[in-house]
Amino acid sequence: MNNSYIDEIYDVAIIGGGPAGATLAARLKRETSLSIAIFEADRFPREHIGESLVPSVISALQESGALQRVLASDCWVRKAGGYYSWDAVRPWATFFEHKAFEQDGHRRWAFHVNRAEFDDVVLQHAKACGVAVFEEAPVEALKRHDGYTEIDLGAKGTTRCRLLVNASGRYSISSITGPREFLSTYRNIAIWNYIRGGRLAQTLPGEWNIFREPNVSPIGSFAFEDGWFWYIPIPMTVNGKREVVHSLGLVTDPRALKDKRDYKSSSVFMETARRVPFLGELVQEAELISDDFRTATNYSRISSWMCSWSHREIRIGDAAFFVDPLFSSGVHFAMHHAAAAAVLVKAAFDASFDDATRADLWRDYDQMLRKQGQGFALAIDQWYNEIAHAHPNSVYWRERGARPTFEFRSATFHHLVNGTLDDDLLQVISKGTNDVEALRESGAWRQTMAVVERMRPTDETVVRLDHRVVARRSITLEHPFVEVAGDRQDPRPRAFAHGPYWDAPDEHAHEVAPRFGAPSPCVRFSLEGNDDDVRILGARSATQLVDRLRQPRRYGDLKAELSPSELLLVDQLLVAGMMEIVATPAQHGVEAGANA
């Protein structure tokens, strides 16, 4: 038994050695001199759900230095996008960053992976970077006192750290109190196994199949009456032989298991898959590798707190939130959080930052993750609503879209004002039209955006900044490649927008902006005595903007005069209660005329 960590004091301790924790640890060791330890409850390699990834993982691996290790392994199959069939007529297909590919011809890519092996490669990379990695070391309790977090490792003793990162997954232990609220009212269960003898997903006939001619691999998703199936190629060793098999899984409502059939029965599972349009063509000759089915509940939940400066704790990955797996988002969010958390950690140990600035950055992180989780949940539920119309007798049709995805809360709702659908997600949900108006109004995302629209005033309404609002200059965690009124901190494009990057990520890494660089200058707006704030990137024209907003103006005039980012700020201020209505259209004739 390895007790070498007992009585050690680490600068940063990370609970969990999955992609979130291992990626953050490797980044910190490469970029700082901090002492870093990972405490992982399991022994790697260990099985894990979530085998199909998205392109953001490539840049995250490249930034952490792990990409070449992954490429040198045989745990992956290159992935070019996905297709989705839910009406038994025609699947809808998209390459990754479909619009960008059509413009520049560079194919963005990701991985299908054997998660047990992939996660182990990423964890071993962290160890090679100098991270102290302790496996089979479950954390039993945490206590913050005297400037340290004490970590109780049960029979293995205790250790301490100055800052704690919680990357321990959906069922995490934490020193931050508060419930894990449901992001969605829908409750799913995933049931999966592995098959041999399945055809490659790109081989299906039909003009819709954009993957067949270039022979590039997509993920296949297939709706049926009780939910949907995934179909993912992964390398695996079976009976001592290395081969590409397929992960075949279904996501359903638990009530379908009670009302209908036992999908954990080998015969029922395969018979059902063979009857599903398009999927049936791929698995007609396939056979299960074993009768050992895996299951996992896929309840979409979000933590009450993403981080706490007073507790010196940060949540990343599933410990922050988990959203339905329909769009392969788990590892994407895990590594995105890790990149943002690296900025927080470095600021925490950088003497040039005062506590007020650190608190600003940590608040940004909390708001950013909350917006991510809520916005993505809305988009996924919109997708389910679209699927449901093709299966009117299903559990999904009876339940999905019948009520709001989650209760709106004033503390977070204003962050959805600028909610937009990911281009690839919109490509699929809209069946290739890329038109938001093509989505059903009964869907969760459309319903929420309709609420936002109703909150906006008419063009004739006269508004101004509330006199209690304080505007102050600060810095923010927001992406450095966002351009505001000509103020651009990093002129390089994002990785997904730069075609040559995808030919050789390491070679072209210097040509793209990192996911999170140094914090960017901003102006923060808040009500006196309230920590919640609304911010705008850039500070060049802040004084003029504040002066303009303090004068009563018609909302229509503001729309015509302000830049898109400034107008977005006005909308966020309105929803946050920081703008006041001076005159409504019925009143504005006299009052607005005097103020125009």
Q: What is the pLDDT of residues 328-355, one digit of tens each?
A: 788 999 999 999 999 999 999 999 999 9
Average pLDDT in the chain:
85
Amino acid found at 594? A
Structure tokens of 38? Answer: 């990972």
- Judged against a pLDDT cut of 50, whether residue 412 lies above it is answered with no
The pTM assigned to this predicted structure is: 0.89
**In Å, how far are 486, 551, 566, 567 from 561, measured between CA atoms?**
16, 14, 9, 9
For 360-397, the pLDDT digits (tens) are 999 999 988 988 888 888 777 787 777 777 777 776 56
- Residue among 567, 480, 562 nearest 516 (CA): 480
564 versus 354: the higher-pLDDT residue is 354
Q: What is the mean pLDDT of residues 568-589?
A: 78
Name the maximum alpha-carbon separation found in the chain. Answer: 85
Q: Where are the domains of the chain?
A: 462-595
For 429-468, the pLDDT digits (tens) are 776 667 777 777 777 777 777 777 777 888 999 999 999 9
- Judged against a pLDDT cut of 50, whether residue 2 lies above it is answered with no
For 473-515, the pLDDT digits (tens) are 888 887 644 444 444 466 788 898 999 999 999 999 999 988 8
Residue 581: left if φ>0, alpha if ψ -120 to 50, beta else—which one?
beta
For 249-295, the pLDDT digits (tens) are 999 888 777 666 789 999 999 999 999 999 999 999 999 999 999 99
Please give the helix or strand (H or E) that residue 537 lies within, else none: strand 533-537
Q: Which residues pair with 288 in a beta bridge?
A: 195
- Judged against a pLDDT cut of 70, whether residue 402 lies above it is answered with no
pLDDT at 592: 41
Q: What is the mean pLDDT of residues 321-325?
A: 83
pLDDT at 486: 42
What is the C-alpha separation between 221 and 206, in angstroms, rounded? 16
pLDDT at 176: 77
pLDDT at 530: 76
pLDDT at 574: 84
For 218-239, the pLDDT digits (tens) are 999 998 888 899 999 999 999 9
Return the beta strands (E) in 425-483 as ranges.
Answer: 462-465, 469-476
Question: Is 317 within 8 Å of 323 (Cβ atoms)?
Answer: no
Question: Is 62 within 8 Å of 505 (Cβ atoms)?
Answer: yes
- Residue among 513, 478, 479 nearest 496 (CA): 513
Q: What is the mean pLDDT of residues 178-204?
A: 87
Question: Is 439 within 8 Å of 446 (Cβ atoms)?
Answer: yes
